[in-house]
Structure 1
Amino acid sequence: MNSEFEHPIYYVEKKQKLDDNIIEDLELLELSKESDERVSLLETVIKPNSKIGVENLNKLCEYYTDDKSFIKDTQKYNK
């Protein structure tokens, strides 16, 4: 994975690391049980269509923030 690219949340001072237990419980990256019919939550929502996209899913669930300004800016960008 290209280590030069960082998601915008990396530059937010007011961020928290998402606990590994939450990532596992919500099956954000991996399923708790093997299934040929199901994929992880992030794969379902984001639908990555490249190897880089799939590798990038790990970075998407590293941090969270309650910085209202950052959240509003991100919502505008993602519309």
Structure 2
Amino acid sequence: MFFADKHIPAVVKEHGQLIKVYGRVLEVYFADYTPTIETALQQNQPLMMAVQPLTITDVFRVKLGDRQAVWGGV
């Protein structure tokens, strides 16, 4: 997802898990992606939003919570 500013929408914080952050681009994992979540994301007016397959590295980040890798080593 790519939003106009660096603010992470509440719907992402509440229902998703960040996999990686590249400036304003967010890679987010949603365990249970529903139409309600889709609507909430669209209300935040993403400039771009695309479904991508998870890599094995992404699975480890989601399951083990590698916060340092998510924020690019910060």
Of Structure 1 and Structure 2, the greater strand share is in 2
What TM-score, normalized to structure 2?
0.30
- Pick the structure with more helix per residue: 1
**The structure with more radius of gyration:** 1
